[in-house]
């Protein structure tokens, strides 16, 4: 897959990002963080008002459209420069994105309820696929349009309830852990996969971290949201970090620079001269 399509595909899995500074030792080397170190250090206790928690964290956002301007960095083992991105979402209908480098459009993508499309203006090729492609990219099996939009907006994109998850609270916020391995699939996936799931929320009920671990493999998907703020009465994350672990590890860092709630045109036309890329396993 060409690098522009690789980056653009990632952009439709997340929304915004400036990572926290890594932990360094005395010699300035990055100290790797173990999984158990990601969890709150304080003791967890029962949530006093579970109804309030679900009321705040489950309902989707109410909006018509939103445009986000971002800076994007991708660490995937290949050299990809920092890119400027425009991501435009029409609620429950369409996600459109455009990538530019040095003021030139290099790639464009569009996701709808029907599937995912992307074109590479540099290499003159394109992708026209269902969501199986994005699921393979993230090493998961549950991505569809609805879950994708929730991920982009920093909303809970996994079905959680009191019977399947253990809810607790500490001074940092809230913690939700799967009581047992969760089987997840969507309409496009024949076989369900099982995950161990942990979700963290801050005191304002904003989602701050999601960790999904495939119990039958080393595949992991971790999404961290940071710097939440209110824009047009909507709570939105300005910063996000996504880590995809499988045979290799890829990271996406996006920093949102501006939110706009006006309508814009979203052209998407693939020239006849472009060659379609076949998606293989």
3-state secondary structure the chain: CCHHHHHHHHHCCCCCCCCCCCCECCCCCECCCCHHHHCCCCCCEECCCHHHHHHHHCCCCCCCEEEEEEEEEEECCCCCCCEEEEEEEECCCEEEEEEEECCEEEEEEEEECCCEEEEECCCCEEEEECCHHHHHHHCCCCCCHHHHHHHHCCCCCCCCCCCCEEEEEECCEEEEEECCCEEECCCCCCCCEEEEEEEEEECCCCEEEEEEEECCCCCEEEEEEEEEEEECCEEEEEEEEEEEECCCEEEEEEEEEEEECCCCCCCCCCCCCCEECCCCC
> What pairing do the DSSP bridges indicate for beta strands 125-129 and 275-276?
parallel
Q: Are 15 and 153 in contact (CB under 8 A)?
A: yes
Torsion region of 26: left, alpha or beta (phi above 0 gives left; psi -120 to 50 gives alpha): alpha
Backbone angles phi, psi at 126, to 5 degrees: -155, 165
pLDDT in tens, the chain (281 residues): 445 555 556 555 443 333 333 444 445 444 444 444 444 445 677 777 888 999 999 888 899 999 999 998 888 766 677 889 999 999 999 999 999 988 888 899 999 999 999 999 988 999 898 888 788 777 778 889 998 899 889 999 988 988 899 999 989 999 999 999 998 765 554 567 889 999 999 999 999 999 999 998 888 999 999 999 999 989 999 998 989 888 888 888 889 889 999 999 999 999 999 999 876 65
Count the domains in the chain: 1
The span from the CA of 206 to the CA of 226, in Å, is 9
> What pairing do the DSSP bridges indicate for beta strands 234-245 and 220-231?
antiparallel
Does some domain include residue 36? no
Does some domain include residue 62? yes
The span from the CA of 146 to the CA of 156, in Å, is 11
Measure the CA angle with vertex 33, ends 27 and 37; round to 5°. 130
Does some domain include residue 214? yes
- For 18, 155, 173, 192, the CA distances from 228, given in Å and listed in that order, are 12, 12, 14, 33
Does some domain include residue 280? no
Does some domain include residue 277? no
pLDDT, position 124: 93
Tell me, yes or no, if the pTM score tops 0.85.
Answer: no
Q: Are 136 and 246 in contact (CB under 8 A)?
A: no
The parent domain of residue 64 ranges over 3-20+41-270
Q: Are 83 and 22 in contact (CB under 8 A)?
A: no
Question: Residue 128 sits in a domain of what CATH number?
Answer: 2.50.20.10
Q: End-to-end CA distance of the chain: give it in Å, rounded.
A: 12
- 237 alpha-carbon distance from chain centroid: 11
Does some domain include residue 129? yes
């Amino acid at each position: 897959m060409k690098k522009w399509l690789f980056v653009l595909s990632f952009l439709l899995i997340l929304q915004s990002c400036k990572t926290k500074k890594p932990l360094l030792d005395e010699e300035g080397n990055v100290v790797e963080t173990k999984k158990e170190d990601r969890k709150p250090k304080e003791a967890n206790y029962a949530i006093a008002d579970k109804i309030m928690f679900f009321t705040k964290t489950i309902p989707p956002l109410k909006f018509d459209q939103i445009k986000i301007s971002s800076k994007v960095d991708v660490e995937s083992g290949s050299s990809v420069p920092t890119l400027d991105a425009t991501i435009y979402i029409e609620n429950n209908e369409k996600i459109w994105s455009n990538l530019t480098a040095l003021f030139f459009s290099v790639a464009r993508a569009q996701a709808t309820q029907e599937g995912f499309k992307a074109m590479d203006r540099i290499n003159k090729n394109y992708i026209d696929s269902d969501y199986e492609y994005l699921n393979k990219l993230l090493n998961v099996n549950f991505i569809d349009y609805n879950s994708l939009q929730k991920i982009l907006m920093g909303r809970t994109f996994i079905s959680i309830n009191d019977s399947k998850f253990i809810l607790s609270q500490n001074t940092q916020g809230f913690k939700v852990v799967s009581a047992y391995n969760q089987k997840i699939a969507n309409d496009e996936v024949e076989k369900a996969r099982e995950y161990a799931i942990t979700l963290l929320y801050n005191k304002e009920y904003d989602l701050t971290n999601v960790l999904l671990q495939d119990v039958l493999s080393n595949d992991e998907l971790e999404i961290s949201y940071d710097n939440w703020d209110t824009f047009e009465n909507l709570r939105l994350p300005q910063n996000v970090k996504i880590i995809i672990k499988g045979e290799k590890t890829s990271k996406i860092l996006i920093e949102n620079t501006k939110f706009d709630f006006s309508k814009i045109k979203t052209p998407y036309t693939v020239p006849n001269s472009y060659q379609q890329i076949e998606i293989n396993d």
